[in-house]
Structures are given as structure tokens and as C-alpha cells.
Structure 1
Amino acid sequence: MKLLVTGGAGFIGSAVVREAVRQGHAVVNLDALTYAACLDNLAEVADSPLYAFEHADIRDRAALDRIFAEHAPEAVLHLAAESHVDRSIDGPGTFIDTNVTGTYVLLEAARAYWQGNGRPEAFRFHHVSTDEVFGSLGAEGRFTETSPYAPNSPYAASKASSDHLVRAWHETYGLPVVLSNCSNNYGPYHFPEKLIPVVILNAIAGREIPVYGSGENVRDWLFVEDHARALLTVLRRGAVGRSYNIGGEAEARNIDLVRMICRLLDARRPESAPHERLIAHVADRPGHDHRYAIDPSRIRDELGWRPEVTLEEGLARTVDWYLANPEWWQALQQRDGVGRRLGTVA
């Protein structure tokens, strides 16, 4: 299968590209190379005859039309998005522009390409979204595909909007779409402004490890390579018009997650132990959702997918990767906003 992957130089997108090429798919990576993108994430596949790169923006209709015409993809995996909640608090306009308008332009380009080629039944437009569109859970329950949308951050609202656009283009125009909403991803190549890399890199440097509020907020953690396999499964075998929740079945309070990472670093860098001494509780993020948890029953029962990597194993692999690849993250630490507290405007 020939895939057009948007945002393929990002964290999740690059994992999808690497996995797709391993599985023998041809991949066209379309990426605007904004601040969180890194082509080094794709070194494994850069020289593969199955891989091609297009430097383009999903808001650029002329570029999209050219790329569809030249590469003739059989499916689109749409991951390009602004994704950091803290940045969305400080600058929501960028998130609306990329995540909402960009998705609209991409949908229109995909629709024109699909219709112009006789509406092939095998074509798919897979829109990748987040569990944050569902809002915040209490102590019990998990998000299902029928959970009501209740986004609480500009980022979540922009992704909820794009989800609705994709559904509307299926219902109105017949575009063959599938959708997925995932829990928090982590793993190698995670951009160093997100929680897990912040904890690892601050601990390595002997700097304060910031924990928002009391640290009681709960997330369901999904190893990024498990997610990549799930996305390709949904793309190939998911029912048209259907959505699939993808979760790691690995809930943890933020404070417990931070302590787990500290213990892993204690074992690997005993001369700096205990790393827990660096934990500092800081002012909470505005609109900070209390708990996310995914019920992955549908993707498990219908498509046979379930996560393979436990949280303990995944965190160990992630810590080891960051310790072994300082040249990767040191370069990214120079980018705008990295290392600064963002999202404090309320």
C-alpha cells in the first residue's frame, strides 16, 4: 500500500513512517517542518526506496494537489497537528489554524483526488486524534467511542473540531474515513517539552523536575510503537466511518510516573541518586483535566490489536534511549520555548 503520512517528521508520525516501511508499505512523508519536527527521527528509513519526503504545509492546497497527483497514494494517515496543550494556552490561534483549517484543506484535497480517480472503494482517509477531546474523567469509568465530546483546552477543542470535520466529510460527501483517538504517547524521539522527556532530561542535568499541582492527575500511557502498529491496523482493517479508541491500558498518576522514572535513573546513574530529591510541585496548568482513561475494547475485539509494551518496560526503554542519544535531544533543546514553563496564561 502507498501511504501519504502528514506530520511524518513528528514524534508519532515518524514512528508510523518507520513501522510502515518495516511492514513493506511505500510512504510519502508530508511535513511542514515546524518547531517540533525532526528529520533525524527518520534516519532508519531515509535511504529506503519505499520512502519519499515532501516539505509542504497541509494548509497549502496547491501543494497538496500536486503531491496527490504525483504520488497517487492509496491512503492518507493524517497526523499533522499542533499538539502541546501548554502552547495552546499561550497561543490558541496557531492550533485553530493548523488543526482545524489545515484538516479542512487536506480533506478537500483528498476528496478532489478521490473523486477525480473514480471514488475507489479501497481509498482511506485515517484521521488521528486524541482522548483529550472527551474532557476529564472522575475516579471511575473510561472513554469509549460514544463518550460525549467535552474539550477543556484550546488544543483539545481544535482536535475535536477536526474530528467533526472528518465525520462530516464522510457523511456528506462519502469520503471513506476512519478515525482514532489515542491516550498519551511516550517513547524514543519524544520532543523534549512533554512530561516524560522533561523529567528524564531535567533529572540527568540535576535540575528541578516540575510536577503540576499535586501530581494527582491520571493519564493512560501508550508506547508510541504500539500506537504506530495500531494505526496501521485501523487503516487496513477498520470499518469505514468508524472510530477506534487506542489506549495503553496503563493508567498512572503523574507523581507516580515521575517517581518511576527517577527510580530507573537511580539504577542507571547511582552517583546522582536519589533523583526524587529534584521533584518540585509547581502551579497547576489552567484547565488541567483530572483523569483520562481509554476503553480499547472495540479495537481489541474487532481488529485484534492490544498493546504489547507494559508501562514499566516502555519507560525503561525510553530512559535508556535518551541516555544513549544525547546528540538528538541536545540539538532540540535550543528550539523556541523548550526548557521554559509555558501555558501559565489564564
Structure 2
Amino acid sequence: MILVTGGAGFIGGNFVLDWLATSDEPVINLDALTYAGNLETLASLAGDARHVFRRGDICDRALVDELLKTYCPRAIVHFAAESHVDRSIHGPGEFVRTNVEGTFTLLEAARAYWSALEGDEKAAFRFHHVSTDEVYGSLGPDDAPFTETHPYEPNSPYSASKAASDHLVRAWYHTYGMPVVTTNCSNNYGPYHFPEKLIPLMIVNALAGKPLPVYGDGKNVRDWLYVKDHCAAIRVVLQKGRLGETYNIGGWNEKPNIDIVHIVCALLDELRPDAAGSYSRLITYVKDRPGHDRRYAIDARKIERELGWRPAETFETGIRKTVEWYLANPEWVANVQSGSYRDWVAANYGDRDDSRAQVRA
């Protein structure tokens, strides 16, 4: 059995579904079910004895100890995190608590559990920490992509909290010999993505005839990774990754945000045409967020060279699958758009400078 934290969130939920689709090894799933945790993502596992769900906080040491003692997992895959930059700007405290204190709690519980193991069980145990490319900071337009040895230069409360958690994991390996691996991924997209992030927000707002808010000039560049490719990479690193190592996971798909929005609009024009005209008419430029990193790009050659992983999806195939999924699952979308989510959208976009909120095709 493996223990997955944050397994009802976007990436964690996809990982749990993917794991149980390709393996009979059970999963104990620990998730606090905050705003982005959604058990509907895991509805297909209802009644499946291979999936054991526990609602709880990774900062709850007694609960984590209990789960480790009861289920004796051979690995912990740690997804649980507060992950939205804008939310971290509005409320950084929760990011420090979950991402830093929570990771510390997990590491200490795992260290106690691992130290008591013996023989093959002790040798086989792994702690897989899932992190982000945002810890590396921002790149210039001509800079080489981030490698695993790039210095950490986090620029937001979110990325700073993730950088801190990465450092803790590294320290527990070097100080205590904990069998850890870390992965730093680029921007994920795909099914079950909570609609505060760029791609699902554009899809949901377009279908509702609402403005498609684009920060600044829309030319911030990100590397896009289809979530199921990310899940496959995590399985490979968990199985074959060298202890104490970091592996960057990227999609080899650098694109400016405004290009992403136009691609989504073009797919919606094709798959769900609007009598009022192209969805691109809804694009609205809004005031940029503070500390907005200009460019991220992942150099994923290490994981390909050492472990043989490379993404299976191109951006063109992955984004089509993503748009098709949202069109086919309106109930899931409607149910996650709770009152608290709508309040968040109003708080985040309501205070932008109206002088820049002009609609452009």
C-alpha cells in the first residue's frame, strides 16, 4: 500500500485514479478537503476496496502516525499543498502552515515510522515530495530552462513556501538518511482542474459568456504538462529514482498565456460554437498580479536520460482532451463552483484597475 496526501486535489486525484487504473496496489488517501479537494473526482472509486479515504490535515501528527501504524505503507507520495499564487498573496499564512509545517510534520512522522522498519521493508521505503518549478524564480526570454541545479529564487508566498518544503526534504535526507526523492513539475493541465487556474477558468467563463481575464499583457510564458503525463513520471521516479535526487518534470511546451487563451477559444469555437461569435471576443486584459514571474521553462532531460520518461502528449493533443473533458462533465464543474469559489473570484478580480480592463479580440 502507498499513502497519498492531497489525493482529492487536481494532481493528487488524477494520480490516485491513474495508480489504481494501472496497479492493484491499494492507496490510503489523506486529504483535508479544503476548497480544492473534491471527492467527486474520485467518484468512480466508490466501493473499491483498494481506495481508503481519510479526511484529515497533514499537520495532525497523531493522525499521520495512526495511518502509518495501521496501514504500513511502503511509500508516501506527498501532493498536499496550498498551490495558487493569487491565494498566497491574499493569505500567505495558510501556505506557510500547510506547505512548510505540514511537510515538516509528515517528514517527522515518516522518519519515526521508517526508523522502526527492518530489512527489506526499510530499504524499500520511499518519501516522494511533489513540488513545482516556481521555486526557481523567473527566467528572461533568452535564458536556458531550469535544470535541477538552478538556484532557488522564489518570488511569491506560494513559491517561497514550496521552496522551504523542498529544503526540508533535502535536509532530512542529508541529516537523517531519509529515503526521499523530489520532483519539480511545470504547469499542469487536464481533467478535474479546479476552475481558478488559467485553462479551466477560460473554458468555464467562455461557456458562461463571461470575460476571460488575462493578466498584464498576456505574454507571461509557462511550460505546460498534461496531468496524466505527470502521473506517469511520478510512478517512474517512485520506482527507479535515485535517493536524495531531484527530477524536473516538464512538457516541453513553452507558450505565452495569451496564446493558451486563443487556443482554448479556437477549440471551443470548433466543439461548442457560440451564435454570438468567437469566444475570443471575451478576452479581457486586467491589472497584473504582484510579483508575477515572467517565464518558467523546465529542462526535463535528466528524467529522460536516467529513467526513460518523456511526455506522451503534445500540447495540441492534451489541450483538446482537456477541453473535451470539461464539455462532457458540466455537473462536476457546476458542483465545484460553490459559493466560496465565487467569493474568491470576486475578491481576486474585483480589485483590478478598471482602466486596463478593456476587451480585445
What's the TM-score bracket when you normalise by the shorter of the two chains?
over 0.9
CA distance in 2, matches of 1:282, 1:236: 44
Partner of 1:57: 57
C-alpha deviations, 1:17-65, integer Å up to 9, x for none?
1111122121110111111000111122232222111111100000011
Q: 2:330 aligns with which of 326, 333, 336?
A: 326
Query: 2:13 is aligned with what amino acid?
Result: S
SS of 1:291 mapped into structure 2:
coil
Q: Which moves more between the two structures, 312-321 or 67-76?
A: 312-321
Partner of 2:359: none
Query: 1:268 is aligned with what amino acid?
Result: L
1:298 to 2:302 alignment: yes
Partner of 1:110: 110
Q: Which moves more between the two structures, 238-247 or 332-341?
A: 332-341
CA distance in 2, matches of 1:116, 1:201: 49
Partner of 2:91: 91
Partner of 1:45: 45
CA distance in 1, matches of 2:158, 2:270: 36
Deviation at 1:262, TM superposition (A): 0.2
CA distance in 2, matches of 1:166, 1:269: 45
CA distance in 1, matches of 2:162, 2:61: 20
Q: Is the Cα–Cα contact under 8 Å of residues 107 and 172 in structure 2 kept in the other structure?
A: yes
C-alpha deviations, 1:125-163, integer Å up to 9, x for none?
000000000000011210000000000000000000000
Partner of 1:188: 191
Q: Which 5+ residue runs of structure 2 have no aligned equivalent?
A: 353-361
TM-score, scaled to structure 1 = 0.97
Query: 1:326 is aligned with what amino acid?
Result: P
Q: Is the Cα–Cα contact under 8 Å of residues 129 and 181 in structure 1 kept in the other structure?
A: yes
Matched residues, percent identical? Answer: 58
CA distance in 2, matches of 1:58, 1:174: 22
Deviation at 1:341, TM superposition (A): 4.9
SS of 1:149 mapped into structure 2:
coil
1:125 to 2:131 alignment: no
Deviation at 1:335, TM superposition (A): 4.3
CA distance in 1, matches of 2:327, 2:183: 32
Partner of 1:340: 346
> What's the C-alpha RMSD, in Å, of the aligned pairs?
1.3
C-alpha deviations, 1:240-295, integer Å up to 9, x for none?
00000000001110000000000000011223431110001000010000000000
Deviation at 1:118, TM superposition (A): 3.1
C-alpha deviations, 1:76-106, integer Å up to 9, x for none?
0000000000000000000000000000001
SS of 1:228 mapped into structure 2:
helix
SS of 2:58 mapped into structure 1:
coil
CA distance in 2, matches of 1:112, 1:255: 48
Partner of 1:222: 225
CA distance in 1, matches of 2:114, 2:339: 38
CA distance in 2, matches of 1:46, 1:68: 23
Deviation at 1:333, TM superposition (A): 1.0
C-alpha deviations, 1:186-208, integer Å up to 9, x for none?
00100011110110011001111
CA distance in 2, matches of 1:27, 1:146: 32
1:203 to 2:206 alignment: yes
TM-score, scaled to structure 2 = 0.93
CA distance in 1, matches of 2:166, 2:274: 48
SS of 1:220 mapped into structure 2:
strand
Partner of 1:19: 18
SS of 1:267 mapped into structure 2:
helix
- Go from structure 1 to structure 2 and tell me whether the alpha carbon gap of 1:75 and 1:50 turns closer, same or farther (over 3 Å shift): same
Runs (4+) of structure 1 exceeding 4 A deviation are none
Q: Which moves more between the two structures, 14-23 or 289-298?
A: 14-23
Partner of 1:10: 9
- Go from structure 1 to structure 2 and tell me whether the alpha carbon gap of 1:234 and 1:335 turns closer, same or farther (over 3 Å shift): farther
Q: 1:317 aligns with which of 317, 321, 342?
A: 321
Q: Which moves more between the two structures, 155-164 or 110-119?
A: 110-119
Q: Is the Cα–Cα contact under 8 Å of residues 35 and 335 in structure 1 kept in the other structure?
A: no
Partner of 1:152: 155
SS of 1:18 mapped into structure 2:
helix
Q: Which 5+ residue runs of structure 1 have no aligned equivalent?
A: none
CA distance in 2, matches of 1:30, 1:174: 25
Partner of 1:243: 246
Query: 1:290 is aligned with what amino acid?
Result: R
